Structure 1
């Protein structure tokens, strides 16, 4: 596993400098302005390098592991990669993009049989009917794929969230002897880590849909696989995480909550939920005066704290743990919505007062200078 990770990371580090030059020379850059918060032309499509490094590392080391077990998952990830690449090159219509994602989802859920089979007593529901399981899992994967795409709006944010989830999942799969899933997690981790080197603020390259859609789909599929295998472990088995359903949710709680939050805000304001704006959590934190790297670290740390909180609720059922987790996340979002406008109002008021202060200081300096010149001109009688 270590060699697979190191190979993917090393190949990624070698790929990115020439890729950045090529994308710049072809003018395949993300222009600043509008809702974009970067200030210079920055090449996109960074997903090309970290996905190629992942697949090359799998090709070199994969023969040691039972990769045929996940052949449909690998094929679906490759399909999403080409959908994202096509959208970055020439923008796809939303229905065509969803259609491509749906084919990949069917490949994973129906053919690969990676699905949510059980609610584990949440809302009184146990094992799911086959067709409901297919439909619900397909909906979850599509939601996770596009939710992850939506958080890719800040230097280092999406890659930080992805790395935390990949590290936890990869370690768990390895411990449970699920080597095919583990090696996929660690090669992806190496590729994304090499991307973060060039994506950390100030970013030299962005993921683009090539990277964010592919990584979001891969993470969603791996989380579903984790939930399935974790639930199948016997009671008391080492590293059997409980509550099972809540643990699966918390691994990608930030993109899920952010998507639900922005869609709700847009619909309440009479806007189409897919219309882009600056209502994401990272936009609010930026308005608080935080830098890109600070926001990425804060949200990454928050993700780890929430995961630790769910681990601390191991004695609770999903019927209690999931509402508690949801309540905490909603409360944090509510506080952010209340604090940010107050901070902005204070900042605007302060900036409005600045010219008056500067004008008063300028008048004071002019008065002192005038009095000094008058004093120098006056003749003083020393008798």
Structure 2
């Protein structure tokens, strides 16, 4: 538990200092673009929440060097591997000049570093035919880097409202930590706990008032952290199904896949073109109808905060069965299919103004 408490304290204080002295740095760190299609805040807010999270995770791992060198070396290598994707995201937060392609490449570099030093290469996915292809080393390496970058980017994609991406990350890390505890994989468990503490310390200031944002640095960091821990858990423990981490992260992953389908196939535009049609955005506009038309900052902030719990619940629909069936790949595949159906049904119901009445919040 020391990893949780240390990370929580450091993140809590780090975020407080950023918020308290934002008048000194907000011209560099603030999210001042209030008019973009994916912007739903009303004031400039520091978007470097990933910095205290990264520092908090590092501080939480320091005591391990005195009592468990195996855990310490593992966790340190993982944190070093995260540096390229975190720094690329942080540079974007500070300069607004690092494109999505550059951030994805940086995340692939992080995945390659972790793969090299921690032997973290995905060689099978429990699908006949594909597993044979992944047995070829170079293909396995490329596929692994692509998957890690995709998951990291998916957490950035859902980072649209106060507490959304970060709380989903806490839910997933809790599941990872639980399964790691069950199978006695303590390095994975410690890394999960450190991530939980660091993100919860950030959440204290981010939800519900949005006093600080994750930024690209924070979103890519927690996405990479979860993706690598998930991969390492199944590689180090053959009893854990390869479909366990997929179902755990299925909400952000499916959101990304569905977004690409929606933009390329339905809208026939570039998949990288931003829009305001993500599931969390249409829930904000059509389900959380409370305060629609209001221009008051306080009521808009409250409406923003009300949106995230819908997606926390949706994510839990995938996480809970993943925990229950973590070693049963057939059950996990069935649950993944059911989640995909649920997501598509929910999306199209809202788009076609057929949202179940019990989901709607209005004044």
Provide TM-score, normalisation by structure 1: 0.80
**Residue pairs, 1:112-131, within 5 angstroms:** 112-122=118-128, 125=131, 128-131=135-138
Per-residue deviation, residues 305-358 of structure 1 (Å, max 9, x unmatched): 22333456679654x7425523432343233223333269x9xxxxxxxxxxxx
Give the structure 2 partner of residue 85 of structure 1: 90
SS in 1 for 2:352: helix
Matches within 5 A, 1:1-383: 2-27=1-26, 28-31=29-32, 32-35=34-37, 36-65=39-68, 66=70, 67-90=72-95, 91-122=97-128, 125=131, 128-230=135-237, 232-233=238-239, 241=240, 244-268=241-265, 269-290=267-288, 291-310=303-322, 317-318=329-330, 321-322=332-333, 325-342=336-353
Q: Give, in angstroms, the shift of residue 210 of structure 1.
A: 1.5
Shift of 1:48: 0.8
Q: Per-residue deviation at 1:292?
A: 3.3
Indicate if the aligned counterparts of 1:109 and 1:115 stay in contact, CA closer than 8 A: yes
The match for 1:349 is none
Q: Tell me, yes or no, if the aligned pair for 2:172 and 2:319 is still in contact at 8 Å.
A: no
Change (3 A) 1:24 1:122: farther
Matched residue count: 333
- Distance in 2 (CA, whole Å) between partners of 1:310 and 1:3 is 27
Distance 1:4 1:307, change over 3 A: closer
CA 1:227–1:258 in 2, change beyond 3 Å: closer, same or farther?
same
TM-score by length of 2: 0.84
Q: Aligned equivalents of 2:101 and 2:329: distance in 1? A: 39
**Structure 1: any 5+ residue segments left out of the alignment?**
234-240, 347-383
Identify the range of structure 1 (71-80 vs 160-169) with the bigger mean alpha-carbon deviation: 71-80
Q: Distance in 1 between matches of 2:78 and 2:162?
A: 28
State the alpha-carbon separation in 2 of the partners of residues 17 and 315 from structure 1. 41
Deviations 1:83-112 (A, max 9, x none): 221121112134433332222111012332
Alignment partners' CA distance in 2, 1:44 and 1:248 = 28
Aligned-pair Cα RMSD in Å: 2.5
Provide the C-alpha distance between the structure 2 equivalents of 1:339 and 1:115, rounded to a whole number of angstroms: 39
Say which SS state the counterpart of residue 111 (structure 1) adopts.
Answer: helix
Structure 1 residues 80 and 200, CA gap change in structure 2 (3 angstroms): same
Unaligned ranges ≥5, structure 2: 289-302, 358-363
